[in-house]
Structure 1
Amino acid sequence: MILVWLLLVPLAGGLLAWPSDRINPLLPRVISFASLLLELVLLLPLLHASTPASLIEPGHWLAAFDMPWIPAFGISFRLDLDGLSWLLIVLTVVIGLFSIVVSWTEIEDNVGFFHANLMWSLAGSIGVFLALDLFLFFFFWEIMLVPMYFVIAIWGHENRRRAAIKFFLFTQGSGLLMLLSILALAFQHDQETGTLTFNYFKLLADQPAGMFGYLIMLGFFIAFLVKLPSFPLHTWLPETHTEAPTAGSVILASILLKTAGYGLLRFAVPLFVAAAHNIAPIAMWLGVISIFYGAVLAYGQNDLKKLVAYSSISHMGFVLLGIYSFNMLAWQGAVILMIAHGVSTGALFITVGSIQKRLHTRDLGRMGGLWTDLPRLS
């Protein structure tokens, strides 16, 4: 039941924060911050928790929750937590806390609705890291993206509407592709076993083979590549980061990009081992191209925020390369890099937001003498 509370706390925090700005503009910030602190209190003991063996399949699972949701279609409300999920959820909560702090003075309009969307996006991300029913995973994938659209479209910079629409089209289009793959995987399992299910462990034991399995895997692969993002499906990222408010950029880079790396590690590779091996050379080449392409473009930017955005493409290229190397040490390295990138890039976007607020520019050519203007930051 503790896993359900991990979802309910940020959802409830968002609901409480939304109308509270009518009482006092400070209340939404306090409610959101307190909700995430409570989330940390719930999370930390789980690292040493144990779960009844009846609830989990073989593996080192720290906690589990399973109940029927839409039994007629074999859909359950299945949540599982292991070390990978725990790490990424802790990252989500910590980054969420910093996002609230950096928006404390930046966001002045519709403060309650802003914090509601922020909390719901974080709740969706936590759901993505917990869900092991594939339909439930897709449900949280959408919950995570829709509030972020509003964060960009309402509180972003000059071209925020265009950036938000571009973000929505790319992520929803790829999400639809993943949904089709999820349905195809479930129907294929139903045809072979006579049981319609979206349960991760049952689908893991009955992997589709041949060209059909390869095509289903591509739906997952492309959806996660868009979100990672990887060359050549990266074009939504720089503009979205540039136009998003600081908190939006921080959550996008530190959390939402990690859901793609997690999806590759949890779903795209284990559910389609043979197909993943076949596509590994292409995936690794895309990772290498992303590394150099993102780095070269970052090197050529005058806009400080775009520089950090393009560097993310380069960094996540290493994650893609590590995942498809099929090496345990590389998989561990990919996870460490995701955590490190979440912390460092979030910090970079916070720094850029601070500089922009004080100097009213992100143009590197106009930033000479930062030591004089920002002595403590320097």
Structure 2
Amino acid sequence: MNLLSVLVFSPLVAGLIVLVLPASLQSRYKYVALAATILQVLLSVLVWVRFNPSLGGVNNEHTLQFAEKLSWIQLNVGGDSRLQIDYFLAIDGLSMPFLLLTSLVMFVAVLSSWEITTNLKGYFALFMLLDTAVMGVFTAMDFFLFYLFYELMLLPIYFLIGMWGGVKREYAAIKFFLYTLFGSVFMLLIMVGLYFSVQDPLTGDHTFNMVHMMNPANYVDGSLFAKFSGQLLLGIPARSLAFIVLFVAFAIKVPIVPLHTWLPDAHVEAPTPVSIVLAGILLKVGGYGVIRICYSIFPEAALGYAWWIGLIGVVSIIYGALNALAQRDLKRLVAYSSVSHMGFVLLGIASVTAEGISGAMMQMISHGFLSVMLFFLVGVIYTRVHDREIANFRGLSQLMPQYTFFIMVAFFASLGLPGFSAFIAEAFSLTGAFKSAGVNGLIPRWMALGGSVGILLSAAYLLWTLQRMFFGQLRLSGGEPWRLLLTDVTIREKIALVPLAAMALLLGILPGVVFTQINTSVLDLVKLVNP
């Protein structure tokens, strides 16, 4: 059984089923989508159980796991040369945890989609297409196939925001599309340059195989991106420029300051399920791309720009936290908190240490669960009273005690309280930053200290919001009608929230569940970048 293919394309099949079902059965669409995500969760668990963490395999095709490789596109281009693109799916420790994260997030997002009431056929078909695209990004090992899935994510998100979003949905959708497309166009140029620079060691043909792109021996002498090439483009070494272009393309997704401005707008205008996918998965695609492609294919450039990457991480941490502190809209606050928390990912990656990269991986996984939980909880209130203004609520714990419990778990976990996943993630990211300052000198200690300040700021805006909205004397700007509408969490909402809270707690108490799976691949990456 080709597990990865089933994992990737089962949502697409579900989307096609939704399209062919008649409008008279539109109440069934959500159950078709839910069944597809449940199947994904089960398959992801099976992959997790059968995964062998000792193999590693960051730059070794033979140690990649669950590999599926078929010749997909072939074209003779003259003489003995041919253009070949492979259907190549495989995973290692750097990609495997994101399969389970994606399947769980999509499951929660579909449960959240129960509130969607218009044009259900189009909505669920686009949602399933988005699911396939994201899964494809995390499993593709051919750059052309990766790029295809990466671009495929744009279309459904554009329409999901533009058609089912808020008042300024068109503006938010276009802004997201243009920001992401800007980076993708230049990524295409680098991809083509790499194709003509790398040869398959067996056939001698040029290749899009990302594993071959990581091996210096496979580069053609004198090619544009030959290892440590001295060729200049715009006065910059070709490989350094390629690294910068690819980093910017993925950093838009992370997002980093100052390329973050699409995120708050997209989150505020997007419906809750799309916000859940944006925060829980799409931001991780950016971090994953930096690790998988930028660092693995251009390791010498990664070392050369480590200081700047660390600086961008620290600026994002502090700037995002300060903006969150100033927000009045609860959803916008959570959006800016994502900018801050994803800064720890860049800080950990910049350290090029096993501790830092492990912490960055854990931060992406932890933030995936916690941001989904936060946006889901914001959606619960907004669905009931169509208001997210923090000042319009006070004393909600008296009306919604179970909801308050879940929001407290999400807030305390997000601020890095010991016992929760974010504490482990941020602690390891900072440990890697401090170690880097003392061992390889890539980033200075003041950057690690700056990251620590970000933790204090996150505690400030989260605890202040908790105090203002949930404690004290009950006061609602909507008066008695709001009191009647603000009912506690339903069974469906608990089904979505309990697994997210459990994962945040499990990864905080037993982080080895993740670290064991990723450790060998992380060590291989560190050795590749900084031998």
| TM > 0.5 fold call | yes
Identity %: 38
Letter in 2 for 1:158: V
CA distance in 1, matches of 2:101, 2:27: 25
Structure 1 residue 262 and structure 2 residue 262: aligned? Answer: no
Does residue 163 of structure 2 align to residue 154 of structure 1? yes
Q: Which AA in structure 1 matches 2:34?
A: F
Give yes or no for contact 2:61–2:211 (8 Å, CA) kept in 1.
Answer: no
Could you tell me how far 1:337 is from its partner in structure 2?
0.8
Provide Cα deviations, 1:306-335, integer angstroms capped at 9, x if missing partner. Answer: 000000000010001111110011111111
Query: Which whole-Å CA distance do the structure 1 matches of 2:158 and 2:20 have between them?
Result: 20
Q: Secondary structure at the match of 1:179?
A: helix
Q: Secondary structure at the match of 1:83?
A: coil
The 8 Å contact of residues 21 and 28 in structure 1, kept in 2 or not, is answered as: no
RMSD between aligned alpha carbons?
2.1
**Counterpart in the other structure of 1:35:** 36
Partner secondary structure for residue 351 of structure 2: coil
Shift of 1:19: 4.0
Q: 5 Å matches for 1:183-202?
A: 183-189=192-198, 195-202=205-212
> 1:41 Cα shift?
2.5
Take 2:22 and 2:321, find their aligned partners in 1: how far apart are those partners? 42
Q: Secondary structure at the match of 2:23?
A: coil
Is this contact kept in 2: 1:49–1:63, CA < 8 A? Answer: no
Give the Cα–Cα distance (whole angstroms) in 2 for the partners of residues 355 and 282 of structure 1.
40
Report the AA paired with residue 326 of structure 2: G
1-structure distance, mates of 2:395, 2:49: 49
Distance, in Å, in 1 between the alignment partners of 2:396 and 2:168 is 27
Q: Paired residue for 1:142?
A: 151
Cα distance, 1:221–1:50 mapped onto 2, change above 3 Å: closer
Give the Cα separation in 1 of the matches to 2:291 and 2:94: 10
Which residue of 2 is the match for residue 4 of structure 1? 5
| Unaligned residue ranges in structure 1 (runs of 5+) | none
Are 1:82 and 2:53 counterparts? no
Residue-pair matches, total: 375
Aligned-partner Cα distance in 1 for 2:285–2:269: 21
Change (3 A) 1:21 1:209: farther
CA distance in 2, matches of 1:208, 1:109: 53
Q: Which region of structure 1 is more displaced relative to structure 2, 220-229 or 15-24?
A: 15-24
1:230 is displaced (CA, Å) by 0.4
How far residue 60 of structure 1 moved from its aligned partner, in angstroms, is 4.6
Q: 2:350 aligned with 1:324, yes or no? A: yes
TM-score (norm 1): 0.94
Which protein shows a greater Rg?
A: 2
Q: Which residue of 2 aligns with 1:220?
A: 246
| Structure 1 residue 20, shift from structure 2 partner | 3.0
Counterpart position of 2:67: 64
Q: Is the Cα contact below 8 Å between 2:255 and 2:283 reproduced in 1?
A: yes
Residue 38 of structure 1: CA displacement? 1.4
| Superposition deviation, residue 50 in structure 1 | 7.1
Q: Distance in 2 between matches of 1:49 and 1:128?
A: 21
Distance 2:65 2:24 in 1: 40
- Structure 2: give runs of 5+ residues left out of the alignment: 76-82, 217-225, 230-236, 405-531
User: Of 209, 228, 232, which aligns to 1:209?
Assistant: 228
Q: In the alignment, does 2:94 pair up with 1:93?
A: no
Q: What is the rounded CA distance, in whole Å, between the counterparts of 2:204 and 2:347 in structure 1?
A: 38
Helix, strand or coil for the counterpart of 2:180? Answer: helix
Looking at structure 1, the residues matched to 138 and 245 of structure 2 have their Cα atoms a distance apart, in angstroms, of 19
| d(CA) in 2 for partners of 1:40, 1:177 | 34
| TM-aligned CA deviation for residue 232 of structure 1 | 1.0
| One-letter amino acid of the counterpart of residue 209, structure 1 | F
Deviation, structure 1 residue 220:
1.1
The CA distance in 2 between the partners of 1:308 and 1:43, in whole Å, is 28
Greater alpha carbon shift after TM alignment, 158-167 vs 76-85: 76-85
Are the counterparts in 2 of residues 33 and 100 from structure 1 also a CA contact under 8 Å?
yes
Partner residue in 2 for 1:341: 367
Alpha-carbon distance, 1:191 to partner: 12
Offset of residue 175 of structure 1? 0.9
Measured at CA, do residues 273 and 254 of structure 1 come closer, stay the same or move farther in structure 2, by a change above 3 Å?
same
Instruction: Report the Cα distance in structure 1 between the residues aligned to 2:95 and 2:200, rounded to whole angstroms.
Output: 31
Instruction: Determine helix, strand or coil for the equivalent of 1:168.
Output: helix
Which residue number in structure 2 is paired with residue 103 of structure 1?
113
Per-residue CA deviations over 1:22-79 (Å, capped at 9, x if unaligned) read 132321111011111112232322234479x9x9946653310001111222211111
Of 230, 242, 256, the match for 2:268: 242
The verdict on how the C-alpha distance between 1:191 and 1:38 changes in structure 2, with shifts beyond 3 A counting, is closer
Take 2:90 and 2:194, find their aligned partners in 1: how far apart are those partners? 20
Query: Which AA in structure 2 matches 1:97?
Result: F
Equivalent position to 2:184, from 175, 179, 198 = 175
Corresponding residue for 2:396? 370
Rounded to whole Å, the distance in 2 between the matches of 1:94 and 1:273 is 32
Mapped partners of 1:287, 1:174: distance in 2: 19
State the shift of 1:363 in Å: 0.7
The one-character-per-residue Cα deviations of 1:103-157 (angstroms, maximum 9, x if unpaired) are 11x2000112111111111110100000010011000001122111111001001
Aligned match of 2:123: 114
1:193-222 CA-partner distances (Å, limit 9, x unpaired): 963110011111136324111111112101
Contact map agreement 1:217 1:272 (CA 8 A) in 2: yes
**CA distance, structure 1, for counterparts of residue 71 and residue 205 of structure 2:** 15
SS at match of 2:26: coil
Alpha-carbon offset, residue 180 of structure 1? 1.1
In structure 2, how many angstroms separate the alpha carbons of the residues matched to 1:311 and 1:152?
21
Which shifted more, 217-226 or 70-79? Answer: 70-79
Q: Contact 1:62–1:83 (CA<8 Å) still a contact in 2?
A: no
The aligned amino acid for 1:288 is: V
Task: Supply the distance in 1 between the matched residues of 2:117 and 2:156 (Cα, whole angstroms).
Answer: 18
Alpha-carbon offset, residue 370 of structure 1: 1.7
